[in-house]
A = this chain, B = another copy of it.
Amino acid sequence: MALVVQKYGGSSVGDANRIKQVARRIAQRREAGDDLVVVVSAMGDTTDELIALAEQITGEPEARELDLLLSTGEIVSSTLVSMALKHLGQPAVALSGAQAGIGTDRRYGRARILKVDPQRLRRELDEGKIVIVAGFQGITEEMDITTLGRGGSDTTAVAIAAALGAERCEIYTDVDGIYTADPRIEPRPSKLPEIRYEEMLELASYGAKVMHPRAVELGAVYKVRILVASSFNDSPGTLIHSTSSGQVHGGSPMMEQRNKVMGIACDADVGRITVRGVPDRPGIATTIFEPLAEAGISVDTIVQNASVERLTDLTFTVAKADLKRAVEIVKPVAQSIGAPEVLADTGLAKVSVVGAGMQSGPGYAARMFRTLFQEGINIELITTSEIRITCIIDEGRTEDAVRALHLAFELEEA
């Protein structure tokens, strides 16, 4: 008998009938012998409806009050799932995030979980109950209710799984797993039976639509095995884990035998800034990047060319929405250090090949570059991590690049 944490998203509990279906799934799993904690999102569009209600009152709802308001959405769905389970004869109890011991900081609307006090959860489990937890929410030390922001319910589930030492955390959603490429771009993507946390994070630029990176990161830190699967069918899904020995449950292929490239990611949200003629001396990078960090602008890819006559070009990317502000910050800095020019452009995309085995096998980068060359796609920038090779290319060629790389790395569905 294992302890399992499950999470069902908003579409899975969208109305009374779906709630009854989810309850039947949960009840079957319970009858199979597992102890269950089930985290639920708000029903369907509830959160959007509550926000619309607040906006009828005021254009700028206070973050604290908005969180208290929004937290009711998941409380409603949790109580209904609990009632549906009891109707099926299964002992169950619904807990708000506060009751489930989800302690957060005070960053309303995007609170981070600081701790999970599992006392109440354990007591209810010990009494043989299925525990239904309202996701997406927690409580501060001052007893104020917070919401966790994007990926909040996934994060609730992973945090509870970590705190209880659960066998695994199962994220049920409207897709049935993680694919080798975005199915909207690549017509023959393969579903991955398993993937490592790091790979999942690198794939997040499309994977985020399946599961938010913050929940994956939390899972990586606490080694929580996460299954992503469909709430509408019994397809096996994708297991996110850290196992490198091939000792994975559920009949997945041995890690050593698997294709070292796990998938192709792409992201069109790229704004590029190039600072021309930067003096090549210590501390220059700090001078440029510190003001950006202070302004809350995340810098993604950074490339510094080899220095010519003690001058270099520094190129980096930011989210498109931050581009204008970033240029305004960088221009005076560039002037102050004697760099003559700051260039900004968009119309770019990142395409990445991701896989944990790549660093031990040569030739992956070469194959990627050759593939793009054969497609006539120019590479603007290249960056690599231990498990990823990223090329920045013309945005208009993104789909061609993904399809060509998917083919070149033999990722098509078998």
Q: Which residues of A contact B (CB under 8 A)?
A: 16, 19-20, 50, 53-54, 56-62, 64-66, 68-69, 71-72, 75-76, 78-80, 82-84, 86-87, 93-94, 96, 98-99, 120, 143-145
Contacts and interface: CB of A to CB of B under 8 A. Distances in A.
A69 B80 contact: yes
Contact of A96 (B59, B66, B93, B145): B145
Given A54-B80, A69-B75, A69-B79, 18 more contacts: A19-B57, A50-B76, A53-B80, A58-B83, A58-B84, A58-B87, A62-B86, A64-B93, A65-B82, A65-B86, A65-B93, A66-B79, A71-B75, A72-B75, A72-B76, A98-B98, A98-B143, A99-B143
20 contacts: A16-B56, A20-B57, A50-B76, A53-B76, A54-B79, A54-B83, A58-B83, A58-B87, A61-B83, A62-B86, A65-B86, A65-B93, A66-B83, A68-B94, A69-B75, A69-B76, A72-B75, A96-B145, A98-B143, A120-B143
A76 B61 CA distance: 13
A384 B65 CA distance: 52
A409 to B, nearest CB: 48
Given A16-B56, A16-B57, A72-B72, A79 B99 contact: no
A387 to B, nearest CB: 44
A57 B87 contact: yes
Q: Name, among A50, A61, A78, the residue most crowded by chain B CB atoms within 10 Å (CB to CB).
A: A61
Contacts of A65: 79, 82-83, 86, 93-94
Contacts of A87: 57-60
